[in-house]
Structure 1
């Protein structure tokens, strides 16, 4: 593969911020290799041009002591010509054409982005090297061009010139080029008329007594110029805006925040940067599908946009991450007004593809200049505030403080360590016992992931599982848990079952059936002894996919349990449609049955419902003897909780199994009567 050409570019601008924007945009060009030198003064520019070779000069029109027109005039008389692209304010062709005629291209201050600079660099450099491409350029230009010698004989011309010459000669009743040449030579810098066409003519002296005739169709050129400007505006918009929501994207936001930082620095003012995050958006995407997720993002963006006021700015940086900028006013206290407005607007339900969806936005806030002097610092610190909210679901709004930075660094380190633990298969499996309610007979165990950090010791499952979800490791964590748990359970007595909870991500985005099949084959565990637990969130959204997976698992003789029943989206129709074997009553209801009448009735009703639908009902969170008494009274099938035993490693579970099938720490009426 041939190496790409390297362009040596000399960048001249006294405005260092603008120079930085151009440099960053040039660095982003994927198809160009560039070597860039920078200067900030006219003498330095001219000195480098005399001393070194460059392929292109990009210079500001307002360069001190040598404005753009002066630089073009100076270059015109040099032996070694270099094309010049000028950065200038918006210009009017009729007023400025002569002044900027020698420039290879003109760029407005708002056009300093990678796609337009890519075009400008290529156009200027290739246009300067005309010798090898003369005929091609002549034929593809919008101008009518001819080269004549000292006797006014045409030596070279494009087809457009010959067509115009023929038109002029036909109107005069001759077939010679003399008619057109005579018109041009009589009016060398003005306008001529050929038939109905008006053309602007210009004659330029060339080396060796040659002259070039350039004719420009004024009407057509004006239309082409307008079309070019419109195309460049569309390119700029596409490059700086999000195609899904129409909001500015990361590139557009970068330009805006840097502009506001410069203005705030000069004026000594403050402003807010607010990062908005949609809570549970990943779950919504997993459950409903990406099309619904995209529809939700568009609806959220529309409401957020409608909440903006003058001088406020909103962008979508990607995924469910939105960011807003608002000047800091004296009446804002610690909470920007834009946060109140946007949270209020998005608190109402959204209807997307005939589905009613509730979302909750959270807002992380940083303030310029107190929380950062650069865009990167402000964004990073707002992200720290969002991270604090994710770890405390009761919070919705959080303003950055220094302690958050330390917490974020710790979380990132833990994420890297968790990834290493997964690679090293250092995740442990603990097992919590389950027993039959009527006689406290051991029926099986639920597998739970545990992680002991080499330096920090045991890490809370709540913490490392949330890290696994945030950093995309939950699928690998689930696979590791299943392989280890099934391998250990293989050695238990055949009447003991193993329950494993799987996340929505494992069902929606992986081939869970094949993973389970391979795990059972590798470990030798009888599928009849395995129970897969799912959460209620899977009962909405992509129900066809979920139902297909569960039916395939059920066909393998694997039991299916609904975990945390009563806390989510369950309905009687869902219980009838899905192939459940077990309902697990969430611990939040069990722990209240002794003192809360509503919890008492809910648990009693669920147990009755399970008996009617022939489901096994398992009560979680059994921590007191009174819980067992209640469950026996109402005919609950099984139970688990700290009273039966806390989650423990495999060796302790083996000892528990060896002690006998009846959990001796519990009061069992049947066992007691036999002993008597």
Structure 2
């Protein structure tokens, strides 16, 4: 089956990763600059160019298929992190070879932009499962904040020069464009101490990403997400938040804190609305996780039958049998289980067999191309058919326009979430949405 021909105004996408090319960045950044009057106050174009060191050796050692799979996985990890971390508009593009470009129009300090790059680097460096074994990649980053009135080509040129510097560095990951010094920011130890204090002072904020049913667009519930407004670095999203907690060996307390706050906030929701909570790898590695979570649910008064736990493939890699046992205990109490970010990486279909699942939650990368590529629609159709055969309902994530919504409705997805209907919002705003 051949891909649908792009419209004349639609930039060509990389056939491997599905990401747009660098030409798309030029148009998008020029658009942001033209709309600067309506952008959030202090919003500024930020960009990072990441390169995978010695990536040619991956193709030589493992084969081109493994190299292609690794590039697809990197694209998914960068896009997923940007979606969870950035509030303003952003774009991830393929810059050729083992290079990727992330640009954003964001009110963001230099320290926070470097923190975001650091967490993306950690995400990319995580082991990747490939058919022939386990692959570990070593990324390097060039960072820039666009100058007032700067042309896009100038910004990209500065990034390219900075990445050459980063690739020659020993032990460092980052180089700022034009020789700017790496901002001192706060040390890892300071950030970890800040996080522990923020949990104690109840400064971790909960926001809700609304979810809707198809085909009637009825509000069905929300996914709980965490935000941390750091006094010096500004807003830190869930991805960076949990990365900091992981370094401090404090993921389990943070996860419990978020679950408790979300359950308390959702307690008075109308009976038809569901709450979704994310399960981390650290949760599944904690022997008392099931008991502690069930205690939290009971103490909150939130009905277990209206709770969904979302678990990613990354959380299952270490011990899928133990995870299946824990999920079965939750399911026995009426709690539903969703396999999150389905399609974001190497899908292990064994999970569909051994886990007591109720939902497949499609990663946004499975939705992005469905309005322009017949193959993407065919893949979506096949996943929905497989889910139906397994008695699972499909949730589509990252739905950003009506055309995407129409396709997933026509293909019989059951639910969706995304910026089309609502961005993540504070509890008070979600309460207004409930009230209509």
- CA drift of 1:349 comes to 9.9
Q: Deviations over 1:417-469 (max 9, x none)?
A: 22210121210100011010110111110000011123544224333332222
Q: Deviations over 1:121-173 (max 9, x none)?
A: xxxxxxxxxxxxxxxxxxxxxxxxxxxxxxxxxxxxxxxxxxxxxxxxxxxxx
Alpha-carbon spacing, 1:416–1:629, altered in 2? closer, same or farther (3 Å): same
Aligned positions of 1:470-489 closer than 5 A? 470-489=247-266
- CA drift of 1:355 comes to 9.1
C-alpha distance in 2, partners of 1:496/1:639? 14
C-alpha distance in 2, partners of 1:503/1:520? 17
Alpha-carbon spacing, 1:520–1:358, altered in 2? closer, same or farther (3 Å): same
2:327 matched to 1:550? Answer: yes
SS at structure 2 position matched to 1:520: helix
Which residue of the partner structure matches residue 453 of structure 1? 230
Which residue of the partner structure matches residue 403 of structure 1? 181
Q: Is the 8 A contact 2:129 2:346 kept in 1?
A: no
- CA drift of 1:411 comes to 5.0
Which residue of the partner structure matches residue 650 of structure 1? 427
Pick the aligned partner of 1:614 from 388, 391, 396: 391
Which residue of the partner structure matches residue 122 of structure 2? none
C-alpha distance in 2, partners of 1:357/1:455? 38
Q: Is the 8 A contact 2:313 2:339 kept in 1?
A: yes
Aligned positions of 1:323-362 closer than 5 A? 356-361=133-138
Pick the aligned partner of 1:604 from 378, 381, 398: 381
Which residue of the partner structure matches residue 624 of structure 1? 401
Alpha-carbon spacing, 1:362–1:590, altered in 2? closer, same or farther (3 Å): closer
Which residue of the partner structure matches residue 193 of structure 2? 416
C-alpha distance in 1, partners of 2:221/2:129? 43
- CA drift of 1:536 comes to 1.0
SS at structure 2 position matched to 1:403: coil
Alpha-carbon spacing, 1:458–1:479, altered in 2? closer, same or farther (3 Å): same
Which residue of the partner structure matches residue 365 of structure 2? 588
Alpha-carbon spacing, 1:574–1:463, altered in 2? closer, same or farther (3 Å): closer
Q: Deviations over 1:186-212 (max 9, x none)?
A: xxxxxxxxxxxxxxxxxxxxxxxxxxx
Q: Is the 8 A contact 1:539 1:569 kept in 2?
A: no
SS at structure 2 position matched to 1:557: coil
How many matched pairs?
A: 284
- CA drift of 1:541 comes to 3.5
SS at structure 2 position matched to 1:568: coil
Which residue of the partner structure matches residue 444 of structure 1? 221
Which residue of the partner structure matches residue 245 of structure 2? 468
Relative to the length of structure 1, the TM-score reads 0.39
- CA drift of 1:628 comes to 1.3
2:330 matched to 1:575? Answer: no
Relative to the length of structure 2, the TM-score reads 0.59
Q: Is the 8 A contact 1:444 1:498 kept in 2?
A: yes
Q: Is the 8 A contact 2:229 2:236 kept in 1?
A: yes
C-alpha distance in 1, partners of 2:266/2:435? 14
SS at structure 2 position matched to 1:430: strand
Alpha-carbon spacing, 1:516–1:350, altered in 2? closer, same or farther (3 Å): closer
Q: Is the 8 A contact 1:537 1:569 kept in 2?
A: no
C-alpha distance in 2, partners of 1:362/1:612? 40
Alpha-carbon spacing, 1:560–1:649, altered in 2? closer, same or farther (3 Å): same
Q: Deviations over 1:359-407 (max 9, x none)?
A: 235689xxxxxxxxxxxxxxxx966x25x49xxxxxxxx9xx8833624
Alpha-carbon spacing, 1:592–1:502, altered in 2? closer, same or farther (3 Å): same
Which residue of the partner structure matches residue 278 of structure 2? 501
Alpha-carbon spacing, 1:356–1:459, altered in 2? closer, same or farther (3 Å): closer
C-alpha distance in 2, partners of 1:512/1:569? 27
C-alpha distance in 1, partners of 2:248/2:192? 7
Q: Deviations over 1:533-566 (max 9, x none)?
A: 0001244431221111111111111100000101
C-alpha distance in 2, partners of 1:655/1:350? 44
Which residue of the partner structure matches residue 336 of structure 1? none
Q: Deviations over 1:312-370 (max 9, x none)?
A: xxxxxxxxxxxxxxxxxxxxxxxxxxxxxxxxxxxx9999xx99322235689xxxxxx
C-alpha distance in 2, partners of 1:469/1:602? 35
SS at structure 2 position matched to 1:654: helix
Q: Is the 8 A contact 2:278 2:309 kept in 1?
A: yes
Which residue of the partner structure matches residue 638 of structure 1? 415
Pick the aligned partner of 2:292 from 499, 512, 515: 515
Q: Deviations over 1:567-625 (max 9, x none)?
A: 23433332021100000011112121112333222212111211221101000011100
Alpha-carbon spacing, 1:362–1:649, altered in 2? closer, same or farther (3 Å): closer
SS at structure 2 position matched to 1:429: strand
Which residue of the partner structure matches residue 566 of structure 1? 343
Unaligned runs of 5+ in 1: 1-275, 277-347, 365-380, 390-397, 660-676
SS at structure 1 position matched to 2:229: strand
Alpha-carbon spacing, 1:489–1:537, altered in 2? closer, same or farther (3 Å): same
Alpha-carbon spacing, 1:551–1:477, altered in 2? closer, same or farther (3 Å): same
SS at structure 2 position matched to 1:647: coil
SS at structure 1 position matched to 2:181: helix
Q: Is the 8 A contact 2:363 2:396 kept in 1?
A: yes
Greater Cα radius of gyration, structure 1 or 2? 1
Alpha-carbon spacing, 1:599–1:411, altered in 2? closer, same or farther (3 Å): farther
